[in-house]
Structure 1
Amino acid sequence: MTRFPYDQFAKDYLTELLQPLGQVETSRKVPSEVREIDVYFAPSAQSTSDTIQIGLLGKIATKPALIEPFRNAATITEIRSCMNKLFDVFAQIKRQTKGDEKPLDESALPMLWILSPTASDSILNGFRASIDEENWGGGVHFLGDYLRTVIVAIHQLPRTQETLWLRILGKGRVQKQAIDELEALPNNHPLRAKAIDLLLSLKTTLEVNQNTDQEDRDLIMRLSAIYEQKLAEAKQEGLREGLQEGIREGLQEGIQAGHRQVIENLLQVRFGILDAELIAIIEPLLLLTPQEFTPLLLQLSREELLERFR
């Protein structure tokens, strides 16, 4: 199962939650070589009530942070790779302050937060990770002070409102429980609709992916129930006017919007920022079915796509 759908979902999801708190940069290039930081966050000067709304994630966002979410349990190699990115950032900061006689302020350096759905005892012991139960609770494992790295074992987080927004990025039973809690929030909760819309976008992306496993299919089924509920709520509010033709048109528009989101996601994953040339080929691609455009977007080069659909 490719990591792309979940990787893009996690970036979009974290961006939506963190934007009110500061500057969010996804796929930030590391200058030493072609590597990218999934989410680079710099808090704004003034804190807001949004910090409290997202609980433990808001606590993480009180200081500069590199956030690396994983769909599957982060391996030793992947954790080391993330730490290498962190050290490259340290080196970049050092170069920017060259000539300054003052030593680097360790407390001002960003922290690396590795969000892993699970983490084995051997992994945590191997990195000499320890918890700070009093200040952070369970599931948050700190490496040595000067390493400035934290492994968040999502499956170990307590099932509380404070950890909900991180448990959404979990896997299997943990993620399903978090989705249940998300759905149970009041309809006027400021983050509920955003999170659900992003999850439904993930559902659409997974549905056109040809390599889904049983866990993906279970997630699709769970999210399908939310999708059906949203349709029922929209109908009840009179948005669909009770007419069968209106329902069909509304569904078609929703499907078309979902296809557009899938195409945009795949183009971003393949080629980065959507420039004017890539945006121009989205409409022609929408004339194809997902079964037709998905392999083309995954296999053809940028030049081949532009030549074929320009």
Structure 2
Amino acid sequence: MTRQSHDQFAKQYLHELLSPTGLVQTSYDVASEVWQIDVWFVPTPTPSPARQSLGLLGQMASQTCIFEPFRNPPTPVEIRNCQLKSYSLHGELLRSARRDNNSLAAVELPFLWILSPSCSARIIKGFGAKEDLQNWSKGVYFLPELQKTALVAINQLPEVRNTLWLRVLGRGATQERAVAELAALPEGNSQHRQLLEILANWRINLQLNQNVNDEDKELIMNLSPAYLRWREETLQEGNLEGQRLMVESMLSLRFGAVDEELSQIITPLMQLSAADRTRLLLELSRSELLARFAEPSS
């Protein structure tokens, strides 16, 4: 559950961060094989302030690239599979260029960024990866040049604002501190609010799962600062539409699509405190909720 939800979250999170700076495609199918790339990004021709604000992530996104985020450190086989997907896409792009009588330089082919919560010394040495501290942050390991691949050990990144957006994708204490840092940022734009909502929804999704394991519990705790900040802002603003969307999201995550019956209990649920509402949605079954909030027959 945790790995699947992390994959979905990471795609949505990176899409939100990168979309102001270029074209983002998630879950992109490579036609030549049954491969699916997590995030494929093509930057806009002109650098934008939005990209600069992303720090290290923005530096990575200065070129056409692929992002493959992992919840747990990838094995050598998983790293090679990422490369195979990348090279399959390279081949597809080159064939398409030839069909259109265009040329495609090697520098235009997507660069592969493998985002890992950590990287062992064995993995780094085994793939011949090395840091480039003159141009890049500590924790970014480049494979030999022609492989167009780098490993990012998120737990080794310096804990500075420049790396914040990537550290949120880490795990354990690294992620905990990063989420708290993000939640404490002043609300400067709508994107910040959207990121809080993405993190909050990830937490709600995990909490509504019936089979919460120890890893899920740790992740729920890590995401709590963002969830509380998002909920506080929603309630303080008296944003009824925001509250309605929050209740709809929780119902959808708990029971699937919100049908006509469930839609009728959204308003009475909104009238409860956030704590009571969450408790009921976690504890009661669909039939119990419908019975509790059913309108009395006339």
RMSD: 2.9
Structure 2 letter corresponding to 1:283: D
Aligned to 2:26: 26
Q: Which of 245, 248, 258 matches 1:256?
A: 248
Structure 1 Cα separation of the partners of residues 260 and 76 of structure 2: 43
* 1:216 equivalenced with 2:216 (yes/no): yes
- Where 1:15 maps in the other structure, the secondary structure is helix
What corresponds to 1:277 in structure 2?
none
Match of 2:272 in 1: none
Match in the other structure for 1:87? 87
Aligned residue runs from structure 1 range 33-52, under 5 A: 33-52=33-52
Deviation at 1:18, TM superposition (A): 0.4
Segments of 4+ moved more than 6 angstroms: 99-103, 249-252, 287-293
Number of aligned residue pairs: 269
Q: Which amino acid aligns with 2:259?
A: E
Q: Cα–Cα, structure 1 residues 35 and 99, in superposed 2: closer, same or farther, change >3 Å?
A: closer
Shift of the alpha carbon at 1:222?
A: 4.1
1:135 partner SS: coil
Q: So what's the TM-score if we normalise by structure 1?
A: 0.77
Q: Distance in 2 between matches of 1:252 and 1:21?
A: 31
1:173 equivalent to 2:173? Answer: yes
- Cα separation, 1, equivalents of 2:37 and 2:235: 42
Which structure 2 residue ranges, 5 or more long, are not aligned? 266-280, 287-298
Which stretch shows the higher mean deviation, 13-22 or 103-112?
103-112
Separation in structure 2 between the aligned mates of residue 101 and residue 196 of structure 1, nearest angstrom: 45
Question: Alignment partner for residue 283 of structure 1, among 252, 259, 277?
Answer: 259
Question: Any conservation in 2 of the 1:41–1:64 contact (CA below 8 Å)?
Answer: yes
Distance apart, 1:134 and its partner CA = 1.0
- 1:110: Cα distance to partner? 0.9
How has the CA–CA distance of structure 1 residues 193 and 204 changed in structure 2, closer, same or farther, with 3 Å as cutoff? same
SS in 1 for 2:134: helix
Tell me what 1:70 maps to. Answer: 70
Structure 1 residues 230 and 2: CA distance shift in structure 2, 3 A: closer
* Pairing of 1:167-246 with structure 2 (within 5 A): 167-189=167-189, 191-237=191-237, 239=238
Whole-Å separation in 1 of the counterparts to 2:166 and 2:255:
27
The percent of aligned pairs where both chains have the same amino acid is 40
Q: Is the 8 A contact 2:180 2:226 kept in 1?
A: no
Matches within 5 A, 1:105-120: 105-120=105-120
Measure, in 2, the Cα distance between the counterparts of 1:263 and 1:134.
51
Judged with a 3 Å threshold, the aligned counterparts in structure 2 of structure 1 residues 65 and 284 are, in CA distance, closer, same or farther, namely: farther
Other-structure match for 2:148: 148
Deviation at 1:189, TM superposition (A): 4.8
- 1:159-182 deviation digits (Å, cap 9, x = unpaired): 111100000000010000101111
| TM-score using structure 2 length | 0.80
Q: How much does 1:156 deviate?
A: 0.7
Sort the Cα spacing of 1:131 and 1:96 in 2 relative to 1 into closer, same or farther, 3 A.
same
Task: Return the offset for 1:217.
Answer: 0.9
| Secondary structure class of the residue paired with 1:134 | coil
Structure 2 CA distance for aligned equivalents of residues 60 and 52 of structure 1 = 11
Using a 3 Å threshold, how does the CA distance of structure 1 residues 203 and 94 change in structure 2: closer, same or farther?
same
Gaps of 5+ in 1: 241-245, 265-280, 294-310
Letter in 2 for 1:76: P
2:158 match: secondary structure = coil
- Is the Cα–Cα contact under 8 Å of residues 2 and 216 in structure 2 kept in the other structure? no
Partner Cα separation in structure 2 for residue 99 and residue 231 of structure 1: 52
Corresponding residue SS for 2:77: helix
Q: Which amino acid aligns with 1:88?
A: S
Q: CA deviation at 1:219?
A: 2.6
Residue 304 of structure 1 is matched in structure 2 by: none
Q: 1:231 to 1:48 in 2, by over 3 A?
A: same
For 1:34 and 1:220, the matched residues in 2 are separated by 33
Aligned to 1:123: 123
Question: Equivalent residues in 2 for 1:131-142 (5 A)?
Answer: 131-142=131-142
Query: Deviation digits for residues 19-50 of structure 1, max 9, x if unmatched?
Result: 01110000000112221000000111222100
Letter of the aligned partner of 2:246 in structure 1? Answer: G
CA drift of 1:230 comes to: 4.1
Q: Deviations over 1:247-277 (max 9, x none)?
A: xx9867623323336777xxxxxxxxxxxxx
